[in-house]
């Protein structure tokens, strides 16, 4: 029986790159997003062509009832879950200086990026433990996709940076708590990745990359993140729970 992976925010951008690489590695996929079914059926069909089973679990992870519905749909369809990839995240609707950020923007970003991720991880972790108690050979893991913004300050989107920094502690907390069950928890931190989220700042980062922003002189691609996530999901880092995998082309290496 194939392993099952849930990828939140899996229908576009980095999430889709992760879904594709996991499918290529033989995982059945539960793809989560907020778009209407009609808008993602083409994407679902593309992944099914890779000879895996795929379901689309529509829901907003910031909403408790949606989180519960997502997990229940996976239980009903697959009867198991092996990998949770917490990829869903939003940027502020407006990039405001931290001296003028609104509480509304802060709450919206934190509810999705951190609160939603925390409580979806809680649900999945309890389901993993339930499966482990039934089958001692059960293998599962949790992979949190954060950002270099966890450690690189952007004063015009402080709420986003704080949410991603929080994912770092969330990763460590669940790594510690799930250690007794041999369920590893990892964090992947992408750098500047070419997606619809970064399309609006393409010219800015084209120039910065040309000037040497990254050691590897190119934009990151969604597949770059997908390959890192898949290596973790495939169990190639069994003794590295709680650790961070940087996928940033060397951007965060201090240089003189």
Q: Would residue 16 show up in a list of annotated catalytic residues for this protein? A: no
Determine phi and psi for 252, rounding to 5 degrees: -90, 5
- Length of the chain in terms of residues written: 256
Beta-strand runs (E) in the chain: 4-7, 28-33, 54-58, 83-86, 141-145, 185-190, 244-247
Quickly count: other Cβ atoms within 10 Å of residue 227's Cβ.
17
Q: Which residue blocks in 78-189 are alpha helix, DSSP H? A: 103-110, 117-134, 158-177
Rg (CA), the chain: 18
Pairwise CA distance, residues 250 & 253, whole Å? 6
Pairwise CA distance, residues 29 & 22, whole Å? 8
**Which residue is it, tokens 């079914």?**
37
The residue annotated as part of the active site, out of 16, 118, 127, 160, is: 160
Pairwise CA distance, residues 88 & 75, whole Å? 20
- Catalytic residue positions, numbered: 160
């Amino acid at each position: 029986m194939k392993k099952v992976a849930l990828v939140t925010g899996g229908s576009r951008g980095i999430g889709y790159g992760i879904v594709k690489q996991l499918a290529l590695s033989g995982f059945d996929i539960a793809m989560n997003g907020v778009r209407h079914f009609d808008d993602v059926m083409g994407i679902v069909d593309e992944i099914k062509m890779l000879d895996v089973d795929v379901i689309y679990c529509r829901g907003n992870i910031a909403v408790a009832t949606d989180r519960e519905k997502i997990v229940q749909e996976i239980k009903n369809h697959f009867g198991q879950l092996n990998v949770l990839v917490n990829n869903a995240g939003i940027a502020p609707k407006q990039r405001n200086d931290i001296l003028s950020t609104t509480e509304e923007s802060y709450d919206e970003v934190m509810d999705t990026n951190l609160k939603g991720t925390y409580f979806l991880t809680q649900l999945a972790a309890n389901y993993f433990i339930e499966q482990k108690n039934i089958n001692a050979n059960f293998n599962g893991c949790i992979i949190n996709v954060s950002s270099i913004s966890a450690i690189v300050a952007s004063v015009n989107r402080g709420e986003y940076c704080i949410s991603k920094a929080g994912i770092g502690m969330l990763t460590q907390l669940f790594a510690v708590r799930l250690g007794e069950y041999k369920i590893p928890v990892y964090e992947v931190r992408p750098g500047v990745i070419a997606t619809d989220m970064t399309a609006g700042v393409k010219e800015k980062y084209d120039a910065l990359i040309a000037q040497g922003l990254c050691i590897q002189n190119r934009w990151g691609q969604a597949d770059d993140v997908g390959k890192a996530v898949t290596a973790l999901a495939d169990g190639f880092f069994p003794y590295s729970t709680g650790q961070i995998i940087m996928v940033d082309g060397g951007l965060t290496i201090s240089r003189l």
